[in-house]
Structure 1
Amino acid sequence: MAQPADDAKSVPPTISTRTNLPIPTTDIPIARATLLAAQKELVEINTDELRRSVVLSRIELCMTALAPHKSLPVEVISRIFTLCAPGGVELDDLSGPSYSTLGRVRHSRPGKGKDIRLILCQICCRWRTIALDTHKLWNNVKINFGSHKIARVLKLLPIWLGRAGESTLSLHIDGRTDDPRVFSIVSTYAHRCHALVLEDLQLDNPFFELPAGTLRRLETMCLVGAYRYNRDLPMLPTKLPVLDGASLLRSVTLRSFSNAAEPFILHLPWQQLTSLYFDNTFPTPSQYYSILGECENVGQARLDVFPSSIGGTIERRSDVEIALPSLHTLELNTDVLGDAARFFHSVALHALVDLKISLANDYDSTIFDVRCFPSLQRLSIDEGGRASQMDLEAWLRACPAAVDVWVPGHCMQRVLVDQIADGRLLPRLKYLVLDAAVPAYIIAALESRQRSTEHSTIVEVGFTGSEMTQWELESSERMRIARLRMVGVYMAVSKNFARVSGEIGKLARLNAQQGRDPFALGNENKRG
């Protein structure tokens, strides 16, 4: 019985306990030597179970002390933690450990809380200390005041944000209540926010009355309106003091605002923005022209542009066109392609690279022409409205540099396919997605482009439409498709395609490897 005791005493003091702290650097060689000796001794033990258990305990202690994560610097672990929790926490939806978990005393079992931050605080003392001292873990918060846990949220919020130290905050408040505590939170933390989202915002909200300089650290702002029809809305003054001093503001999103907000909308600091998003917000075209005239630095935008009256059309600006030299990515939501064309005739977009058009209605019969987009490489026209062949050709011809063209829901007749085949249309095209078409036309077009060294650029063609999955190709057509795949040109059919270049070829290769038809992808690919 003496031998096991002696063995236990032979364990170096630095590794004789289960500590959460890293082993001292000077003791690492000792711990490794002890581990190797114990492992060797364990091999030699056969029947002495008591001695075997002591040796196993010693091995476990050494492996705990030499765990890889204990050699990581605090800065590295802190960075890993921030990557584990990139989004904001919904305080009203928090369950499991109570807010006292944020203290340094109470312990509870890991995994009881939904939020990863609380889980990290429950692994061990060292991780708890690092997590609580990592300010960026605690500076992103979402609060829903439509919840029944308002009292608990109000008690938890200062504790949670207190862990953010002096770092800037990202605050998302759904204020669907008349509770004055909503404004109290905004006024308390707005001066520290770099990102601010306010939902259910009314024009008489005290937010608009905050003093100048309150938002001096704000970079991103999203305001979601809460307008009630048949309600008299107060008009805001043309100058909003709360936006004075917001010199860092670069991104603005306005959602669900009506024309009643015109004074507010027209006097945001447009000239300093680089990102602009209108979502379910419909200024008149004339208001848009006034806004865009100041947006010379905007690089990304999403705009909702609709006629002023039902059945009307977008009016074109009669004076000098608006120049947007920095705009490279645009999503335009409008009624019909004609309205989009008329709107673009008032705006110069020489730097535009990515254009996505979302249509609300079916094709209209008005005649329009499309101005040229010399730098456009990616064009997407969704299936919300059907375009005639003449209209579709006008848009494709307006994009001579286009590499990526997505027109799901739009059929392409042979006259357009033949122009693509000989390079008269879309000479730089690589990726094409379109609605149901006769495969023979596309196969012949691809073969024609391949025979021309000048125009053999296409690498992917995708067909959409539910009826496409029922098509049966002739054996000769399948052989021709297989030959195209051998030279790196892929064709596939699916109800939906993700708007990701390279996806068609990837799925076609995967199907072929698994012994399935590489042409028919079915419903496996969901649209992004």
Structure 2
Amino acid sequence: MTSQPAMCCVDCQKLHPPRAALLPSPFQSFITDERLPTPSEKAAIRDFVQNTDAEIEWRERTVDRLLCELAELRRRSEHHKAIIAPIRRVPPEIMAEIFLQLTATEARATIDSGLYESYPYDDFDVDNLLGQNDKVRPVIHTAPLIFGEISRHWRAIALSTPRLWNSIFLNCKDDKVRDNIALCDTWLKRSGSLPLSIRFRRPYHSTGGPAPRAFHEWQDLIMTILPYARRWRLLDLDDVPLASSDVFCGLSDSLPVLEALSIDCGSAVKLSSGLCARLRSAPKLRLFHFTSIGTSVNEWQTLPWSQLTHIDVGGCSAYDCLYILSVAATAVACRFSIERDSTSEHPPVSHSALQTLKIYGYRILELIWNNLTCPRLSTLEIETGSSFHDIPSFLARSGAVIQNFALSGCNMDDTRFTACLRTMPGLRRLNISEDGACAQFTDLVWESLTWTADSPPLLPNLESLRLVGGYGFSHKAAVRMLESRAQSRAGFVPKLKTITLSIWRKMSGSACRRLTALTKFGLHIDLDTMFEEDDESGSEASDAEN
């Protein structure tokens, strides 16, 4: 073992000046020889211990004083280092840009609002549509509020940069609304004259709804932003309790820069005359989302549908859907929640611009499929409790190349489902949710999708498959299809990349292992199912030797 440096302390192993020599103990012999002291020697030892403890206390106070002096010296050093730090030479405009980039980075990590989370293909992504990120939250110790905590210089730069403050995303519970009213007003006042993006979100709450006090406080928060209406670029109210959208009757100005409006506050909130009147004075409005347009036809039919590119409305009928499509000639993405029966027929509608159509509803939808033509449609999403055997004729009539198809809750059998898929040879993403009453995916469908050398399969361009349900097929049919799509061979380049299976029945452990083993071919497989530990048990046991 190498010897320690001369200045290295044997106790702390650190280099420091030599310690002061301590006077030797006059009682060392009692320690080494273990000799018992006499009564007079005991008294002397007690006096020695008392003096030693006093010395310890004095030295501890000395250590505390030195530590305080050390802390003061460190502060002094840091303050003087800051004077000559390179960052102090960065021009204010560069610092402002750094602040903006940091704020945008934190905003991208913020949870989305309800306007976007139900769209798997990002057709309604406002951040992409408007070309910026608008989810900046006023949370302490995060951007942009943290910049004011560093120094007076940084705070001055932050307060003189309106782009840090022209977006606000409040995600607050009922008991915190009052605290955010003044904050919201101060925040928006710092935004100068820039267009504003305002998002209010109320987290999940009990079915009883908000207390009366909280209800009025939410109304007061809405009233706080009304004076800034001329600068609204995006307004998104998600689950905010409103008695009526008549709260917008307090608007005294037009909406010259409004591009996106989303109000998702329950079916009790209807389109009001006041809101419709203001939207008619919004020449830049492109995205419109409302929970329920209601039955006041004279109101919602006067909305500026012709200028909208993204439409998402609920509480309508199939007739309303066709009417909106007939007047919204520039729309490229539409989502309709069909909640009322149609009372009359609508003339056929041909929409040459529509690329995304999403229909949710448990009403009879034949009026839509029999009277609509969309030649540029590429994304079709349907959630319904009724059959829709008119879809093949709708697609044949349209001549559209469907790339994304989602189906949920349909009672179509596998034969009709296969016929439906045959009208989508260009399909790339398929999303199926079975409701249990009728299975779309059976062995017949898996075999139709299997790639063989004898005949071309259904959906040759399929890249992604998601299935929820899986009541009516054996795992062997699924394995054969996936293997045929994943392995490279002469003249064939695999395109299938992602498989998500949520099987709502028991499968044997061996079946699950055979499916997950397909990852060796480069497939990304997400399997969620109930399974039996015993290899030959479960509902798949009967398929083991088939």
Answer yes or no: is the 8 Å Cα contact 2:306–2:330 preserved in 1: yes
Pairing 1:376–2:410 present: no
Q: Which amino acid aligns with 1:207?
A: F
**What are the within-5 Å matches in structure 2 for residues 217-256 of structure 1?**
217-224=257-264, 236=273, 240-256=276-292
Secondary structure of the structure 2 residue equivalent to 1:426:
coil
Q: Which amino acid aligns with 2:152?
A: C
Shift of 1:194: 1.2
Partner of residue 402, structure 1: 427
Secondary structure of the structure 2 residue equivalent to 1:473:
helix
1:170 aligned to 197, 201, 204, which one?
Answer: 197
Shift of 1:412: 1.8
Pairing 1:321–2:349 present: yes
Work out the CA distance in 2 between the residues paired with 1:474 and 1:112: 45
Partner of residue 488, structure 1: 522
Shift of 1:80: 2.8
2:235 aligned to 181, 192, 196, which one?
Answer: 196
Shift of 1:147: 5.0
1:346 aligned to 356, 359, 371, which one?
Answer: 371
More moved, 246-255 vs 343-352: 343-352
Answer yes or no: is the 8 Å Cα contact 1:428–1:455 preserved in 2: no
Work out the CA distance in 2 between the residues paired with 1:342 and 1:390: 23
1:79 aligned to 70, 75, 100, which one?
Answer: 100
Shift of 1:335: 1.8
Secondary structure of the structure 2 residue equivalent to 1:263:
helix
Shift of 1:285: 1.6
Q: 1:146 to 1:431 in 2, by over 3 A?
A: closer
Secondary structure of the structure 1 residue equivalent to 2:261:
strand
Deviations 1:472-527 (A, max 9, x none): 2399x57xx75x5444345552259xxxxxxxxxxxxxxxxxxxxxxxxxxxxxxx
Q: 1:367 to 1:460 in 2, by over 3 A?
A: closer
**What are the within-5 Å matches in structure 2 for residues 51-70 of structure 1?**
60=78, 64=82, 70=88
Answer yes or no: is the 8 Å Cα contact 1:468–1:493 preserved in 2: no
TM-score between both structures, scaled by the size of structure 2: 0.62
Answer yes or no: is the 8 Å Cα contact 2:291–2:315 preserved in 1: no
Secondary structure of the structure 1 residue equivalent to 2:400:
coil
Secondary structure of the structure 1 residue equivalent to 2:511:
coil
Work out the CA distance in 1 between the residues paired with 2:450 and 2:367: 30
Shift of 1:348: 2.2
Shift of 1:63: 5.5
Answer yes or no: is the 8 Å Cα contact 2:167–2:198 preserved in 1: yes
Answer yes or no: is the 8 Å Cα contact 1:203–1:236 preserved in 2: no
Work out the CA distance in 2 between the residues paired with 1:494 and 1:69: 52
Q: Which amino acid aligns with 2:442?
A: Q
Work out the CA distance in 2 between the residues paired with 1:433 and 1:234: 36
Pairing 1:47–2:27 present: no
Shift of 1:216: 0.9
Q: Cα RMSD (Å) of the superposition?
A: 4.5
Pairing 1:333–2:360 present: yes
Shift of 1:432: 1.9
Partner of residue 459, structure 1: 497
Pairing 1:135–2:162 present: yes
Pairing 1:416–2:445 present: yes
2:460 aligned to 396, 402, 427, which one?
Answer: 427
Work out the CA distance in 2 between the residues paired with 1:179 and 1:467: 45
Shift of 1:150: 7.1
Work out the CA distance in 2 between the residues paired with 1:134 and 1:443: 58
Work out the CA distance in 2 between the residues paired with 1:169 and 1:235: 23
Pairing 1:263–2:298 present: yes
Q: 1:303 to 1:204 in 2, by over 3 A?
A: closer
Answer yes or no: is the 8 Å Cα contact 1:266–1:287 preserved in 2: no
Shift of 1:413: 2.0
1:205 aligned to 246, 260, 283, which one?
Answer: 246
Answer yes or no: is the 8 Å Cα contact 1:190–1:214 preserved in 2: yes
Answer yes or no: is the 8 Å Cα contact 1:285–1:315 preserved in 2: no
Shift of 1:369: 4.6
**What are the within-5 Å matches in structure 2 for residues 77-116 of structure 1?**
77-83=98-104, 86=107, 113=140, 116=143
Q: Which amino acid aligns with 1:425?
A: L
Q: 1:59 to 1:485 in 2, by over 3 A?
A: same
Q: 1:473 to 1:204 in 2, by over 3 A?
A: closer
Pairing 1:442–2:472 present: no
Work out the CA distance in 2 between the residues paired with 1:474 and 1:289: 45
Answer yes or no: is the 8 Å Cα contact 2:177–2:221 preserved in 1: no
Partner of residue 27, structure 1: none
Shift of 1:344: 3.2
Shift of 1:271: 0.7
Pairing 1:297–2:330 present: yes
Q: 1:413 to 1:208 in 2, by over 3 A?
A: same
Answer yes or no: is the 8 Å Cα contact 1:407–1:433 preserved in 2: yes
Q: Give the count of matched residue pairs.
A: 408
Answer yes or no: is the 8 Å Cα contact 2:309–2:333 preserved in 1: yes
Answer yes or no: is the 8 Å Cα contact 2:369–2:390 preserved in 1: no
Answer yes or no: is the 8 Å Cα contact 1:88–1:141 preserved in 2: no
- Provide structure 2 residue ranges, at least 5 long, that are not aligned to the other structure: 1-14, 20-65, 111-137, 202-213, 531-546
Answer yes or no: is the 8 Å Cα contact 2:235–2:260 preserved in 1: yes
Work out the CA distance in 1 between the residues paired with 2:267 and 2:521: 57
Q: Which amino acid aligns with 1:247?
A: P
Secondary structure of the structure 2 residue equivalent to 1:433:
strand
Shift of 1:468: 5.2
Secondary structure of the structure 2 residue equivalent to 1:355:
strand
Secondary structure of the structure 1 residue equivalent to 2:480:
helix
Work out the CA distance in 2 between the residues paired with 1:234 and 1:377: 34
Answer yes or no: is the 8 Å Cα contact 1:88–1:142 preserved in 2: no
Shift of 1:394: 3.1
Q: Which amino acid aligns with 2:354?
A: L
Work out the CA distance in 2 between the residues paired with 1:48 and 1:66: 36
Answer yes or no: is the 8 Å Cα contact 2:226–2:250 preserved in 1: no
Pairing 1:159–2:180 present: no
Work out the CA distance in 2 between the residues paired with 1:142 and 1:130: 22
Pairing 1:288–2:329 present: no
Answer yes or no: is the 8 Å Cα contact 2:417–2:440 preserved in 1: no
Q: 1:219 to 1:473 in 2, by over 3 A?
A: closer
Shift of 1:276: 0.9
TM-score between both structures, scaled by the size of structure 1: 0.63
Deviations 1:224-279 (A, max 9, x none): 567769xxx99849x954234311111111114422x322221110111111111x
Shift of 1:215: 0.6
Shift of 1:420: 1.4
Partner of residue 121, structure 1: 148
